[in-house]
């Protein structure tokens, strides 16, 4: 398959691994920020192929996983209102809240629908003028522009039964929070290629400039990731810390101006809660006042409930890179894709689900 097979070429991969082994002398800790990278690394056995002095840690780059329980509870509270139709992406409906999930609410009669995009949610709003259609928006800078476009479309059409529960998050602020916490001392970060395709490279330059840590933007195929790892270990060995782009076929320095303009037209930054990390300043997106009529948190009375997390779930620690799924005593026997206890087992980009599907009980 063009544009995929060449990035999975075994011989090229072996060559990259050999180069990495030749360059890399000292112990290094690298974090792959994005859940998509974690899945690819585990699926292709990259951890085991790398020299033993290179430790790979997973980061918080799974939007479903980082959505805190309180926000899941908000979506459930909205689903319980008889006048609403809740629309969201598939993974979200299985994430447990404090005492229920959107899936359970659906089984009990709530109108909860899986959609593939906010555009589908708009169509549901058009077809159901007597109902209030809420799109539960999760995702990073990649998803937010499409949701913003749906809000602009709803305004242009005069659609007055379409709302967004904006749980969108931004990547650079949470990276800053992780680095400032010094909970783990990283040597390098693999930056999320799809996010950088929208934002451009500039928002990630702070990693090297402010924190003296190597950074490389990567795509999601094995050779993309190996090339990024090579860039990182070379920087570490040379005592450099800058941002390199191992995904130049997609990521441009300036990013996607049109997508950014749409996102900035509709959303403003706001403090936001991250599972396991807490409130991170300016790391979320809320609708601007001009679009306030479409803000579900403004349009509905949302009952507050006491937030309860499963006491055995260590998703928060996993999202900060301080623990791995096999450190969780519930992993596999109690918590598995058929009975997910936490979001990291629900999401296709979650570490627990990736470890469950592709192995990874060893120490690497
Ligand atoms: Fe949470 Fe399940 Fe992962 Fe344990 S294995 S951290 S319970 S999602």
312 CA to centre of ligand 1 in angstroms: 8
Q: Vertex 69, ends 65 and 70: CA angle to 5°?
A: 135
Q: Vertex 93, ends 98 and 281: CA angle to 5°?
A: 65
Our answer on whether the CB atom of 315 is closer than 6 Å to any ligand 1 atom is: yes
Give the H/E segment covering residue 19: helix 10-23
Our answer on whether the CB atom of 280 is closer than 6 Å to any ligand 1 atom is: no
Query: Taking phi first (over 0 means left), then psi (-120 to 50 degrees means alpha), and beta for anything else, what does residue 363 get?
Result: alpha
Our answer on whether the CB atom of 342 is closer than 6 Å to any ligand 1 atom is: yes
Map tokens 């060449």 to a residue. Answer: 6
Burial class of residue 182 (count of CB atoms within 10 Å of its CB; 0-12, 13-18, 19+): exposed
Residue 38 in contact with residue 32, Cβ under 8 Å? yes
Our answer on whether the CB atom of 341 is closer than 6 Å to any ligand 1 atom is: yes
Residue 56 in contact with residue 364, Cβ under 8 Å? yes
Our answer on whether the CB atom of 325 is closer than 6 Å to any ligand 1 atom is: yes
Residue 259 in contact with residue 145, Cβ under 8 Å? yes
335 CA to centre of ligand 1 in angstroms: 6
Dihedral sign from CA coordinates of 300, 145, 61, 102: positive
User: What integer pLDDT is reported at residue 356 of this predicted model?
Assistant: 95
**What string of pLDDT tens digits covers the 364 residues of the chain?**
556 677 778 888 999 999 999 999 999 999 999 999 999 999 999 999 999 999 999 999 999 999 999 999 999 999 999 999 999 998 999 999 999 999 999 999 999 999 999 999 999 999 999 999 999 999 999 999 999 999 999 999 999 999 999 999 999 999 999 999 999 999 999 999 999 999 999 999 999 999 999 999 999 999 999 999 999 999 999 999 999 999 999 999 999 999 999 999 999 999 999 999 999 999 999 999 999 999 999 999 998 878 999 999 999 999 999 999 999 999 999 999 999 999 999 998 999 999 999 976 554 4
Our answer on whether the CB atom of 65 is closer than 6 Å to any ligand 1 atom is: no
How far apart are the C-alpha atoms of 18 and 25, rounded to whole Å? Answer: 13
351 CA to centre of ligand 1 in angstroms: 9
How far apart are the C-alpha atoms of 271 and 217, rounded to whole Å? Answer: 25
Our answer on whether the CB atom of 313 is closer than 6 Å to any ligand 1 atom is: yes
User: What integer pLDDT is reported at residue 8 of this predicted model?
Assistant: 78
313 CA to centre of ligand 1 in angstroms: 5
How far apart are the C-alpha atoms of 359 and 3, rounded to whole Å? Answer: 27
User: What integer pLDDT is reported at residue 10 of this predicted model?
Assistant: 84
Our answer on whether the CB atom of 331 is closer than 6 Å to any ligand 1 atom is: yes
- Two structure tokens written together for 293: 């009529």
Which atom of ligand 1 is nearest the CA belonging to 314? 6
Give, in order, the Cα–Cα distances in Å from 158 to each of 68, 155, 161, 319.
32, 5, 9, 40
User: What integer pLDDT is reported at residue 360 of this predicted model?
Assistant: 60
User: What integer pLDDT is reported at residue 15 of this predicted model?
Assistant: 92
**Phi then psi dihedrals of residue 293, to 5 deg:** -65, -20
Ligand 1 atom 7, closest CA: 313
User: What integer pLDDT is reported at residue 9 of this predicted model?
Assistant: 80
Strand order of the β-sheet with 162-166 is 112-114, 84-88, 132-137, 162-166
44 CA to centre of ligand 1 in angstroms: 22
336 CA to centre of ligand 1 in angstroms: 8
CB count within 10 Å of CB 126 equals 14
Ligand 1 atom 8, closest CA: 342
Query: Taking phi first (over 0 means left), then psi (-120 to 50 degrees means alpha), and beta for anything else, what does residue 182 get?
Result: left
Q: Is 61 helix (H, G, I), strand (E, B) or coil?
A: strand
Our answer on whether the CB atom of 225 is closer than 6 Å to any ligand 1 atom is: no
Our answer on whether the CB atom of 328 is closer than 6 Å to any ligand 1 atom is: yes
């Amino acid at each position: 398959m063009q544009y995929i097979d060449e990035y999975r070429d075994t011989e090229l991969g072996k060559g990259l691994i050999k180069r990495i082994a030749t360059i890399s002398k000292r112990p290094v800790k690298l974090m792959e920020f994005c859940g998509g990278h974690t899945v690819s690394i585990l699926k292709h056995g990259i951890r085991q192929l790398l020299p033993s002095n290179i430790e790979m840690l997973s980061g918080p780059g799974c939007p479903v996983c980082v959505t805190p329980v309180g926000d899941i509870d908000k979506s459930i509270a909205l689903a319980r209102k008889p006048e609403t139709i809740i629309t969201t992406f598939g993974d979200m409906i299985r994430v447990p809240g404090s005492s229920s999930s959107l899936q359970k609410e659906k089984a009990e009669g709530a109108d909860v629908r899986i959609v593939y995009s906010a555009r589908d949610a708009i169509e549901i709003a058009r077809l159901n003028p007597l109902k209030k259609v809420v799109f539960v928006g999760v995702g990073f800078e990649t998803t937010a522009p499409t949701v913003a476009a749906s809000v602009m479309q709803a305004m242009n059409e005069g659609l007055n039964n379409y709302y967004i529960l904006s749980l969108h998050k931004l990547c650079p602020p949470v990276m800053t929070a992780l680095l400032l916490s010094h909970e783990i001392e990283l040597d390098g970060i693999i930056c999320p290629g799809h996010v950088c395709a929208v934002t451009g490279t500039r928002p990630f330059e702070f990693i090297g400039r402010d924190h003296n840590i190597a950074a490389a933007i990567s795509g999601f195929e094995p050779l993309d990731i190996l090339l990024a790892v090579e860039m990182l270990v070379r920087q570490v060995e040379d005592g450099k810390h800058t941002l390199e782009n191992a995904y130049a076929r997609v990521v441009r320095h300036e990013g996607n101006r049109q997508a950014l303009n749409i996102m900035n037209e509709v959303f403003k930054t706001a403090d936001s809660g991250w599972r396991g990390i807490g409130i991170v300043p300016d790391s979320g997106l809320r609708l601007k006042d001009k679009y306030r009529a479409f803000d579900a948190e403004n349009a509905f009375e949302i009952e507050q409930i006491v937030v309860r997390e499963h006491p055995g779930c260590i998703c928060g620690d996993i999202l900060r890179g301080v623990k791995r799924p096999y450190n969780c005593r519930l992993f596999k026997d109690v918590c598995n894709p058929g009975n997910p206890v936490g979001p990291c087992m629900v999401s296709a980009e979650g570490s627990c689900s990736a470890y469950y599907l592709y192995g990874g009980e060893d120490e690497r």
